C-alpha cells in the first residue's frame, strides 16, 4: 500500500508540470504545399494560358518541391522585399556567382510541413498576397522511345541559380560541382539504366505574377505570386496556429517542343524541354 501511495504522489506532482508546458505553447505559422493538375494554367502575367503552338505538355506527378524565399505582401503595390519575409534559404558563392545552396535546401512532399515559425516573429498586419520563390521540383513524367512509353523521374532546378556538388535520381548520380542557371534539369528512367541532363532556354521558365503592373519581380527569380481569397490578418494576439497552404498549378507545367506531333515527349527524336515553370499559385489559410 505504501508503494502505491508514493506512486500516486509522483503522478500528481507531474500533472501540473505537463499542464504548464501545454498552456505556454506558442502559436505557430505553418506553411505547406499542394500540387493541383486541375488548377487554372497561367502565363507570366497571371492570365489563363494554353500550350504554345508547336509545343506539347503534360501534368507531371509530383514527388517533392523546394522553395528559396517566402514573403507576405500587404497589397498590390508592395515591392518585393518590402513585405514581411518569413523564409529565406541558404545561399553560397562556392560556385562563383551567388547561388542557392542545394545541399541545405528544404525539400518536402505535398502536405508535409515546409516551415514552422512562431507567429510572434511575423509582423502584425493584413496580407493580401504571398510571394514564393520556387527552386526545385522532382516529379514523374512519361517519355516515348522507339514507340515504347516509359516512366521516368525529372529533377528540375528553377531557382535563379543553384550550386550543386552532386545529386542522384534513384541509382543515377549526376556530378556537377558548380552553379547551374534556372532551367537546368536531369532525368532518369525508373528502373532502367538510362539518364540524361540538359538546360532549358534562358528566360523560358514561366513565373506567374499577377502584380506585374504594380510590383515586378527580378529576372529569373521564379517568384510566383498569389492572392488570398480573404486577406490573412495577423494581430499578434493569436492563440492558435495558422496554417497556410500554397496550392501550385501543375496543369501542363512540363512543356517541350515537338518534333513528332503526337503529344508524347520523345527526347530520342530530338524533342527538347522548353518550360518547367509552375503555372500559378492560390494560397489559403486555416486559423
Over the stretch 225-280, which tens digit does the pLDDT of each residue have? 999 999 999 999 999 999 999 999 999 999 999 999 999 999 889 999 999 999 99
Q: How far is CA 20 from CA 8, 17, 119, in A?
A: 19, 5, 20
Tell me the per-residue pLDDT of 144-158, one tens digit each, with 9 for 90 and over: 988 999 999 999 999
Does residue 4 carry a pLDDT above 60?
Answer: no
Could you give the CA distance from residue 67 to residue 282 in angstroms, rounded to a whole number?
A: 16
- What's the confidence (pLDDT) of residue 268? 87
Tell me the per-residue pLDDT of 214-231, one tens digit each, with 9 for 90 and over: 999 998 889 999 999 999
Residue 61: Cβ within 10 Å count = 14
Q: Provide the whole-model pTM.
A: 0.89
Tell me the per-residue pLDDT of 166-218, one tens digit each, with 9 for 90 and over: 999 999 999 999 999 999 999 999 988 899 999 999 999 999 999 999 999 99
Tell the burial category of 50 from Cβ atoms under 10 Å away from its Cβ (0-12, 13-18, 19+): exposed
Could you give the CA distance from residue 51 to residue 83 in angstroms, rounded to a whole number?
A: 33
Detail the DSSP E strand segments found in the chain. Answer: 28-36, 55-58, 61-73, 84-88, 91-92, 99-101, 107-108, 113-118, 125-145, 148-157, 161-169, 172-181, 184-189, 195-199, 223-234, 242-249, 254-257, 273-275, 281-286
- What's the confidence (pLDDT) of residue 18? 35
Does residue 10 carry a pLDDT above 90?
Answer: no
pLDDT band at 15 (very low <50, low <70, confident <90, very high): very low
> What would the mean pLDDT of 80-86 be, rounded to a whole number?
98
Could you give the CA distance from residue 110 to residue 112 in angstroms, rounded to a whole number?
A: 5
Q: Which of 277, 275, 278 is nearest to 200 (CA)?
A: 275
% the chain with pLDDT above 90:
87
Could you give the CA distance from residue 285 to residue 210 in angstroms, rounded to a whole number?
A: 20
Place of cell 520556387: 134
Amino acid at each position: 500500500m505504501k508503494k502505491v501511495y508514493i506512486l500516486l504522489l509522483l503522478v500528481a506532482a507531474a500533472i501540473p508540470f505537463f499542464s504548464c508546458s501545454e498552456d505556454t505553447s506558442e502559436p505557430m505559422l505553418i506553411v505547406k504545399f499542394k500540387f493541383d493538375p486541375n488548377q487554372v494554367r497561367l502565363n507570366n502575367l497571371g492570365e489563363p494560358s494554353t500550350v504554345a503552338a508547336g509545343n506539347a505538355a503534360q501534368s507531371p506527378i509530383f514527388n517533392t518541391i523546394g522553395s528559396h524565399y517566402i514573403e507576405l505582401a500587404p497589397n498590390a503595390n508592395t515591392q518585393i522585399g518590402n513585405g514581411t519575409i518569413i523564409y529565406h534559404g541558404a545561399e553560397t558563392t562556392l560556385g562563383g556567382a551567388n547561388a542557392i545552396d542545394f545541399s541545405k535546401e528544404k525539400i518536402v512532399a505535398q502536405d508535409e510541413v515546409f516551415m514552422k515559425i512562431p507567429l510572434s516573429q511575423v509582423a502584425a498586419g493584413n496580407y493580401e498576397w504571398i510571394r514564393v520563390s520556387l527552386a526545385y521540383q522532382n516529379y514523374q513524367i512519361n517519355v516515348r522511345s522507339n514507340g515504347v512509353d516509359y516512366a521516368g523521374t525529372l529533377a528540375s532546378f528553377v531557382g535563379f541559380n543553384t550550386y550543386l556538388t552532386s545529386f542522384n535520381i534513384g541509382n543515377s548520380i549526376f556530378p556537377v560541382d558548380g552553379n547551374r542557371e534556372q532551367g537546368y534539369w536531369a532525368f532518369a528512367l525508373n528502373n532502367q539504366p538510362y539518364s540524361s541532363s540538359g538546360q532549358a532556354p534562358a528566360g523560358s521558365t514561366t513565373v506567374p505574377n499577377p502584380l506585374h503592373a504594380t510590383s515586378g519581380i527580378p529576372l529569373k527569380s521564379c517568384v510566383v505570386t498569389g492572392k488570398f481569397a480573404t486577406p490573412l490578418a495577423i494581430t499578434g494576439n493569436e492563440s492558435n496556429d495558422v496554417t497556410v497552404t500554397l496550392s501550385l498549378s501543375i496543369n501542363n507545367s512540363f512543356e517541350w517542343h515537338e518534333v513528332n506531333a503526337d503529344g508524347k515527349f520523345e527526347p530520342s527524336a530530338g524533342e527538347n524541354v522548353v518550360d518547367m515553370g509552375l503555372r500559378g499559385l492560390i494560397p489559403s489559410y486555416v486559423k
